[in-house]
Structure 1
Amino acid sequence: MTQKLPQLIKDDKWLEPYSGAINNRINAAKAKEKEVADNSNLYEFASGHLFFGLHKTPGGWVIREWAPNATHIYLVGNFNNWEEKKEYAFKLLENGVWELRLNEDALRHGDLYALSLHWAVDFGKRVPAWANYVVQDEETKIFNAMVWNPEKPYQWKNNSFSGTNEPPLIYEAHIGMAGEEERVHTYNEFREHMLPRIKANGYNTIQLMAIPEHPYYGSFGYHVSGFFAPSSRFGTPEELKQLVDEAHGMGMAVIIDIVHSHAVKNEIEGLGKYDGTQYQFFHEGAKGEHPAWDSYCFNYGKNEVIHFLLSNLKYWLEEFQFDGFRFDGVTSMLYFDHGLGKAFSGYDDYYSPNLDFEATTYLTLANKLIKKIKPHSISIAEDMSGLPGLAVPQSHGGIGFDYRMAMGVPDFWIKIIKEKSDDDWEVGDIFYNLTSKRMDEKVVSYAESHDQALVGDKTIIFRLIDKEMYYSMRKDQPNLIVDRGIALHKMIRLITATTAGGAYLNFMGNEFGHPEWIDFPREGNGWSFKHCRRLWSISEDPELKYHWLYDFDKEMIQFMSQHKLLSIPPVDFVMENKPDKVLAYHRGLFLFVFNFNPTQSFTDYGIPLGPGKYKVELNTDSGRFGGNDLVDEDIPYYTIPSGGNTSQHYLRLYLPARTALVFKKIDFPKVK
């Protein structure tokens, strides 16, 4: 019997030869859901955090852990001098589940604790896998779980928040480096200083990096150790909740970077050989180790692992009221070879035996669960392979992400800035690379993210201006290199944002051309915080040119937000002139005209359009953004017919070199 083709294949006939693999993927997810959750109870299945871990109950304390290879487990802490004592011994229930019950007065809020876990040939200290707060001793650097049971738990004030209902304009941020001082900053400082800034700048979604606990600060949160513990280096769980709550009160959604693609190898504070075996949470042998990341790879074929990871999603959505996730390392999850060294140049690369159905099953269940918990939630896949169906609804045969990261866009900008002179930039090529995507998927477009700002890479402003940034950024210091960099920085961000296929992202500080790369404290730099902060003062200093870039980004984002630009699906090509380096396109009522020519300005340049009247909405050449004020923004602009009234109309414009203009159509021809 022939299976019914999902809409995914109907929308792309080139997928028909792979219909068997696609249907196998879909059926594998359905079978696994039926197996673990009886086909209709995925929400209840993903409740491990309510059973495992430490909990205060009316009858006292109970702590449960899953450790199938363990022979004995003891709870140790400052309450029993870190010694194994009979009254703190766990009892084995069944299926590798261990339990310990204690009287109400046995533990107090703030107590430190861990597990002393024994297996057949050895034993070791372990921070519980389900611990919801983990702290590190400043002197010994040792991690322990902390009993977190405040007398007055946080009371939510904005429970009615149900999302922005607008395309995401995402401000990617890192709590620890969000301040100017050379130290780790806090949830409270971010809430007090950054939330108002992000709101005023027009962004409607905050993407927080490095929230789950990670032992090495410099990993940017990618080597997770405590999946259920918000990082204590930034503050307490209650302070994180207040941050999210106040963001909601301002009308902003908050999502976090979730790392379910791998885990740190650490054995005391992480999941590495948690019960004495590598294969408890991860694959055994070489398959369980990521060759490029020095980390362990989850075994998505084990129901207990799916239970752990799905419960983790539910925990963050419900306990902290986050609004979704950016799933990190999705490419690594999808393919047995982690996508390393693969070009993904054709469909055969996606549907070869290299595709891991266990991973696609987990991601399918994860997206289904997320939407069940919060229908307004956002799920984003960080994937560079381009697997068809990844960001397609499950009802159409997709895996169910709302968006995929348009990872080719920043790579494209780096390539042309690095490898081509301005005279060789081709506007048609730029437009194609920014708008090329699968029609059935939405993407998060971005010129650069934290990846491009990390040490070892360069931000766009650094590639454009380089060392001149340190000597010629005062407004009274003329410099042609800086002028070029500022002009292109504005144009690159404007064209990337306004052609975005669903959402737009910016990493904090990049909007004003932050002059320092990100280099976390490490042995190689003497554990310095010098390059692990954001210098907000330079963006607000009216004497510095960074101020121009900051003001431009603010107006650009507010323009997009006010007009809900990204909710208008089509980006309609109008014209390109390769020799002149002029490009024009429409989006709804708005016309975007770019002159990438490095030296030549054009007078009465004709843009072929239908009859209409336009006004300037945004101008990169405006003096308030560091431009030359060569365009009159106050007058209306009318199309002019080339011959009679029924002939081709042209909008005649003055286009300064390295300038972009945004027009709004404000008058329509009358219908007879």
Structure 2
Amino acid sequence: MKELKKLPLIVDEPWLEPYESKIEKRFQNYQNAIRAINDFSGSILEFAGMHEYFGVHFDKLRNGWVYREWAPAAKALFLMGDFNWWDRNSHPMRSSPRGDWEIFLPYEEYKHTFVHQSKIKVRVIGANDSDLDRIPAYIRRVVQDETNHDFAGQLWFEPQPFSWTDQDFSLDEPAKMPLIYEAHVGMALEAAKVGTFIEFEELILPRIKAGGYNAIQLMAVMEHPYYGSFGYHVSNFFAPSSRFGTPEDLKSLINTAHGMGIAVIMDIVHSHAVKNVNEGLNEFDGSDHQYFHPGPKGYHEGWDSKLFDYGKWEVQQFLLSNIRYWMEEFHFDGYRFDGATSIIYKHHGLVSFDSSDKYFDEGVDEDALLYLQLANTVIHALNPKALSIAEEVSGMPGLCRTIADGGIGFDFRLAMGIPDYWIKTLKHKLDEQWDMFELWHELTNRPKLEKSIAYAESHDQALVGDKSIAFWLMDKEMYFSMTVLEQNLVVDRGIALHKLIRMITLTLGGEGYLNFIGNEFGHPEWVDFPRLGNDWSYQYARRQWSLVDDPLLRYQQLDKWDKVMIQLAKDHQMLSAPPAIQLHLDPDKKIIAYERGNLIFVFSFHPTESFFGFPIKVPQAGTYQIILDSDETQYGGFARLEKTMKYKTDKEQQVSLYVPNRTVMVMGRGK
């Protein structure tokens, strides 16, 4: 009998051999699912095409509009809206044995009433005898009434198709080495208001381009009823949030970004959905188990939201169609999957992962893992270079290996332990207590064949109740002492460590890098959206660009450092280079040196002492020179290093360096 060939994941990770049968079973589950999908739909892309069937569409053959809805347990559905003066009874829909409901509106009869921008809802008599006016599940635009704040679906028939000009845009660089700028359109302006897609395109995209970033991760794209949810309580999965503008406005933003060579990634929320009955999917057909798990299993207590039943074909089709829709209709270049840990585990990751068994025990939702494999299959079938990123904290093995290897198929995982490490260090340790061994471990401990996106902080670390790294470092001094006209020891320390933290995270922590909007220049304070508790203020739901634009403030020094740091990574293909090789680690002097991308990085985290003639053994003999250092005055330093100096290796292949405290120097070898 021929022995089955081991999956590459098992070959490359021998420690997984005790779980080989379970990993094989996951692979078989995927193959079985693909076969069933192909038998049913012909291909997975056809399977993920339900957005072209459900919802409102114009049928050219029948010359009229057809509206379809999946509501298997409902007793009756009625379409209503501006077109019939909101009559809740005049337009009943008919059902099929599959649980689909349908109504046809002839063009000649409705051409003057069923029109662009008119509003609709569907009245649903539910299985529980509820009688509610709902928003169609596949609706592509939802608007809120300014008077009564009620949400309704809106017909969106483009007068003419959007003219895309991004045919020559290439994903080669972002896919190979993503340098991601995480941003929220609504809070991107300095004005105390909700920003728009158009304002973001005109005012913020140029800043991102100037910063050197090659990808944007857009938050809060899908419609959500509560602005303060940061976009994570989604109600309408196929509708761009109307508070930011029209669908064409979003297309324009993405088209312009592509023209600048910038990829646009959506922060997609398939981990849960808003529990609201009036705006969302919850109890749509009058049951608690249409889109979601029934009972307590379908409710996330920590998030106060509903949880999808990934084992249902109709739910798979809904979510996979959602993936296809945003990529095809809006030209998104991939996704960052929010809450992947919560998706994967029935306990949502709220346990200690102190044993490898927990990646394969009954706590894992195998239906959810299969869904993520299918999702990644759809993404890469649509665009092989598209980016698929998992927000995953448990360290699920194989998450970022191909499905053929035995993995889940993501391209990258967010290195979520790194920002947690930085915040804990800043909160709980004095500078002299920083542990260099722990720092090295936290930034380098990742699967060797799975790619990570490193970041010092994202939106998570800046939410109200926490602080940005800059604010942890400088606190109230940021209000009074950020001028270049005076010296302040707290600010000097903060600026020095801010630069070191970001540089070592970028160059040591992964194969990609992420920054949250404004943090590149040390944006002060936290993020807090308008709510009752802050008297509906926009004070903290904005970005104060005037700070970095003022040459008399030190924010500009941090911004210059971020730009040169990102450019260094691009020039030397830093993140696509193999992981760093440690050259030196001195726990007492708090010096770390390593080589990556043919460059030598020497960091001193010592709070007070500088060292003369400090020996660092380098990989190759020759003459070295500083090409960048954080102590330059333009970056807020003290100009203690001489960049014209040449450092020749001795007979032990060492260079002797002057290493000032709280600095990083980047060295290159001469030809």
TM-score range, shorter chain: over 0.9
Residue in 1 that maps onto 2:66: 62
Residue 305 (str. 1) matches residue 312 (str. 2): no
The separation in 2 between residues aligned to 1:164 and 1:205, in whole angstroms, is 11
The separation in 2 between residues aligned to 1:294 and 1:126, in whole angstroms, is 20
SS at match of 1:506: strand
Contact 1:164 1:204 in 2 (8 A): no
Residue 363 (str. 1) matches residue 372 (str. 2): yes
Residue 221 (str. 1) matches residue 224 (str. 2): no
Residue 660 (str. 1) matches residue 664 (str. 2): yes
Q: Which moved more, 1:30-39 or 1:199-208?
A: 30-39
- 1:79 Cα offset (Å): 2.1
Contact 1:603 1:653 in 2 (8 A): yes
- 1:499 Cα offset (Å): 1.0
Alpha-carbon displacement from aligned partner over 1:71-101 (angstroms, at most 9, x marks no partner): 2211111222211243x22121330111111
The separation in 1 between residues aligned to 2:155 and 2:220, in whole angstroms, is 22
- 1:162 Cα offset (Å): 3.4
The separation in 2 between residues aligned to 1:498 and 1:324, in whole angstroms, is 24
Alpha-carbon displacement from aligned partner over 1:198-256 (angstroms, at most 9, x marks no partner): 11110001000010101111111111000000100000000100111111111111001
Alpha-carbon displacement from aligned partner over 1:298-317 (angstroms, at most 9, x marks no partner): 00111000000000000011
The separation in 1 between residues aligned to 2:569 and 2:303, in whole angstroms, is 38
Alpha-carbon displacement from aligned partner over 1:308-367 (angstroms, at most 9, x marks no partner): 000000001100010000001111111111111x12122112111111110000000100
- Structure 2 gaps of 5+ residues are none
Residue type matched to 1:156 in 2? W
The separation in 1 between residues aligned to 2:624 and 2:357, in whole angstroms, is 48
Residue type matched to 2:5 in 1? K
Contact 1:7 1:397 in 2 (8 A): yes
Contact 2:78 2:124 in 1 (8 A): yes
Residue in 2 that maps onto 1:47: 49
SS at match of 1:394: coil
- Structure 1 gaps of 5+ residues are 642-646, 668-672
Residue 126 (str. 1) matches residue 128 (str. 2): no
Residue in 1 that maps onto 2:79: 75
Residue in 2 that maps onto 1:318: 328
Residue in 1 that maps onto 2:96: 93
The separation in 2 between residues aligned to 1:230 and 1:132, in whole angstroms, is 7
Q: Which moved more, 1:38-47 or 1:557-566?
A: 38-47
Residue type matched to 2:170 in 1? S
The separation in 2 between residues aligned to 1:162 and 1:486, in whole angstroms, is 36
SS at match of 1:607: strand
- Return the match for 2:191 from 181, 184, 191: 181
The separation in 2 between residues aligned to 1:303 and 1:439, in whole angstroms, is 35
Contact 2:170 2:261 in 1 (8 A): no
Residue in 2 that maps onto 1:637: 647
Residue in 1 that maps onto 2:148: 140
Alpha-carbon displacement from aligned partner over 1:573-593 (angstroms, at most 9, x marks no partner): 111111111110001210000
Residue in 2 that maps onto 1:6: 7
SS at match of 1:395: coil
Alpha-carbon displacement from aligned partner over 1:346-393 (angstroms, at most 9, x marks no partner): 211211111111000000010011000011100001011101011111
Residue in 1 that maps onto 2:301: 291
Residue 27 (str. 1) matches residue 2 (str. 2): no
The separation in 1 between residues aligned to 2:578 and 2:133, in whole angstroms, is 54
SS at match of 1:221: coil
Residue type matched to 1:145 in 2? G
Alpha-carbon displacement from aligned partner over 1:546-593 (angstroms, at most 9, x marks no partner): 111111101111111122211112311111111111110001210000
Residue 615 (str. 1) matches residue 625 (str. 2): yes
SS at match of 2:160: coil
The separation in 1 between residues aligned to 2:106 and 2:647, in whole angstroms, is 78
The separation in 1 between residues aligned to 2:509 and 2:163, in whole angstroms, is 38
Residue 155 (str. 1) matches residue 163 (str. 2): yes
Residue in 2 that maps onto 1:211: 221
What TM-score results when the alignment is normalised by the length of structure 2?
0.96
Alpha-carbon displacement from aligned partner over 1:441-466 (angstroms, at most 9, x marks no partner): 00010000000011011111111111
Residue 164 (str. 1) matches residue 172 (str. 2): yes
Residue type matched to 1:660 in 2? V
- 1:13 Cα offset (Å): 1.1
Aligned residues: 659
Residue 190 (str. 1) matches residue 192 (str. 2): no
Identity value in percent: 49
What TM-score results when the alignment is normalised by the length of structure 1?
0.96
The separation in 2 between residues aligned to 1:381 and 1:3, in whole angstroms, is 30
- 1:14 Cα offset (Å): 1.0
Matches within 5 A, 1:230-309: 230-309=240-319
- Return the match for 1:512 from 515, 521, 545: 521
Residue in 2 that maps onto 1:37: 38
Contact 1:49 1:312 in 2 (8 A): yes
Contact 1:153 1:238 in 2 (8 A): no
Contact 1:602 1:655 in 2 (8 A): yes
Alpha-carbon displacement from aligned partner over 1:2-50 (angstroms, at most 9, x marks no partner): 6432111111111111111111111112222222333961011100001
The separation in 2 between residues aligned to 1:446 and 1:381, in whole angstroms, is 14
- 1:652 Cα offset (Å): 1.7
SS at match of 1:20: helix
- Return the match for 2:445 from 416, 436, 449: 436
The separation in 2 between residues aligned to 1:420 and 1:122, in whole angstroms, is 56
- Return the match for 1:403 from 412, 432, 441: 412
The separation in 2 between residues aligned to 1:25 and 1:412, in whole angstroms, is 33
Contact 1:117 1:124 in 2 (8 A): yes
Residue 415 (str. 1) matches residue 424 (str. 2): yes
Contact 1:54 1:63 in 2 (8 A): yes
The separation in 2 between residues aligned to 1:321 and 1:357, in whole angstroms, is 30
Contact 1:224 1:263 in 2 (8 A): yes
Residue 554 (str. 1) matches residue 577 (str. 2): no
The separation in 2 between residues aligned to 1:261 and 1:563, in whole angstroms, is 37
The separation in 2 between residues aligned to 1:525 and 1:139, in whole angstroms, is 22
Contact 2:126 2:287 in 1 (8 A): no
Contact 2:126 2:284 in 1 (8 A): no
SS at match of 1:22: helix
Alpha-carbon displacement from aligned partner over 1:625-669 (angstroms, at most 9, x marks no partner): 110011011333322x1xxxxx312212111110001112222xx
- Return the match for 2:114 from 107, 123, 139: 107
Residue type matched to 2:102 in 1? E
Alpha-carbon displacement from aligned partner over 1:530-560 (angstroms, at most 9, x marks no partner): 1000001101211001111111101111111
- Return the match for 2:579 from 570, 583, 588: 570
The separation in 2 between residues aligned to 1:53 and 1:664, in whole angstroms, is 59
- 1:425 Cα offset (Å): 1.2
CA RMSD, 1 decimal: 1.3
Contact 1:115 1:127 in 2 (8 A): yes
Residue in 2 that maps onto 1:590: 599
The separation in 2 between residues aligned to 1:212 and 1:656, in whole angstroms, is 48
Contact 1:453 1:517 in 2 (8 A): yes
The separation in 2 between residues aligned to 1:225 and 1:463, in whole angstroms, is 35
Contact 2:599 2:668 in 1 (8 A): yes
Residue type matched to 2:653 in 1? H
Residue type matched to 1:113 in 2? I
The separation in 2 between residues aligned to 1:34 and 1:281, in whole angstroms, is 23
Residue type matched to 2:186 in 1? G
